[in-house]
């Protein structure tokens, strides 16, 4: 029987009372109490099955609208800017955070729309926030470029990601955290950053299943107490209720809505649009910004379906907060939202 242990970063505070750390079974992190990774049988079933929406998906050429982000990136205003998929730029009081940047196409992961800026425009980045290690969230070429052109860059990551990042950018400072831990940003930071749960898994190679943790981020703006939540990759789970109970209503929630079909393959990895809306309601989100759709072809649903369904849910009054679905590259004035 594999040994059970609990792991956190002992140098960082844990904000949830009584939380012992992330459970590991052998060398694998668990989702709560249980191990999870997609089975070979499910992957094979998916590859051999016929997608019932195959023709609809083939005819669906929708992509998100893209606007030039160079001006917003060069400015100084507080903005929230979507680069596509799960990549966001967030500027708060002169400091800039970058979430899960994937700036290039790679083998098996082709961008369906252009980046709204040149990769070289992503300078002045202070904090690199990486939710987990899947290749559509952690891209080696992007990390190398960002570290090279942002010498001040510091990475905030989950437990176990340090060695992986140091193999990509040896000089990049990396701080790892477990769930419910607060990162040490040093003096003068205009916000606090917490690493929080998600329901997902990790794999990049043959022998690293669940050896790197996965999770979500919460940003608390010091001057206003506004809470901005980045959900990462996640299925629906009780962690949303736990987060709301710990922090109260969240002001802005960045929530994935795509890559949910076929359900037998995706339901333990990703939320669908109805689950995304339900999660936002559980979090008592004032504002919902969808992500994780339109940029990469990862699953069986047609490209336009996730946003269409979420828009219908909001129009039907089933979303507690306000929906904002920006163009790629559009700068959202999150600080003005009530």
Kindly state the greatest CA–CA separation across the chain: 57
Tell me, yes or no, if the pTM score tops 0.95. Answer: yes
User: Do residues 164 and 157 touch, judged by C-beta distance below 8 A?
Assistant: no
* pLDDT(1) > 80: no
76-127 pLDDT tens trace? 999 999 999 999 999 999 999 999 999 999 988 999 999 999 999 999 999 9
User: Do residues 101 and 122 touch, judged by C-beta distance below 8 A?
Assistant: yes
144-186 pLDDT tens trace? 999 999 999 999 999 999 999 999 999 999 999 999 999 999 9
User: What is the Cα–Cα distance from 319 to 280, expressed in whole angstroms?
Assistant: 8
User: What is the Cα–Cα distance from 84 to 293, expressed in whole angstroms?
Assistant: 8
Residue 271 is predicted with a pLDDT of 98
User: What is the Cα–Cα distance from 79 to 67, expressed in whole angstroms?
Assistant: 15
233-290 pLDDT tens trace? 999 999 999 999 999 999 999 999 999 999 999 999 999 999 999 999 999 999 999 9
Q: Where are the beta strands (DSSP E) in 215-337?
A: 216-221, 227-230, 252-256, 287-291, 322-323, 331-332
User: Do residues 197 and 242 touch, judged by C-beta distance below 8 A?
Assistant: yes
Residue 338 is predicted with a pLDDT of 86
């Amino acid at each position: 029987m594999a040994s059970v242990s609990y792991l956190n970063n002992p140098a960082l505070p844990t904000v949830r009372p009584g939380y012992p750390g992330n459970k590991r079974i052998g060398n694998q992190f668990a989702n709560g109490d249980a191990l999870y990774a997609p089975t070979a049988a499910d992957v094979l079933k998916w590859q051999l099955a016929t997608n019932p929406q195959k023709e609809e998906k083939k005819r669906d050429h929708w992509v998100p609208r893209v606007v030039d982000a160079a001006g917003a990136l060069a400015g100084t205003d507080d903005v929230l800017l979507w680069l596509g998929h799960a990549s966001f730029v967030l500027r708060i009081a002169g400091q800039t955070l970058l979430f899960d940047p994937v700036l290039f196409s790679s083998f098996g992961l082709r961008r369906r729309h252009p980046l709204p800026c040149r990769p070289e425009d992503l300078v002045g980045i202070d904090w690199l926030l990486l939710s987990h290690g899947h290749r559509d969230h952690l891209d080696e070429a992007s990390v190398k470029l960002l570290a090279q052109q942002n010498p001040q860059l510091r990475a905030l990551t989950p437990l176990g990601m340090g060695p992986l990042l140091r193999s990509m950018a040896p000089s990049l400072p990396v701080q790892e955290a477990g769930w419910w831990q607060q990162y040490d940003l040093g003096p003068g930071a205009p916000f606090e950053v917490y690493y929080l749960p998600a329901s997902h898994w990790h794999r990049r190679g043959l022998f690293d299943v669940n050896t790197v943790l996965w999770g979500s981020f919460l940003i608390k703006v010091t001057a206003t107490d506004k809470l901005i939540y980045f959900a990462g990759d996640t299925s629906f789970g009780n962690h949303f209720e736990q987060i709301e109970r710990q922090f109260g209503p969240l002001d802005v929630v960045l929530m994935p809505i795509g890559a949910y079909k076929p359900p037998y393959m995706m339901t333990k990895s990703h939320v669908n649009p109805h689950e995304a809306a339900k999660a936002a309601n559980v979090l008592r989100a004032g504002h919902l910004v969808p992500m994780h759709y339109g940029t990469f072809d990862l699953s069986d649903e047609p490209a336009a379906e996730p946003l269409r369904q979420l828009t219908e849910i909001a129009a039907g009054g089933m979303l507690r907060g306000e929906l904002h679905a920006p163009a790629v590259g559009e700068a959202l004035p999150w600080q003005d939202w009530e």
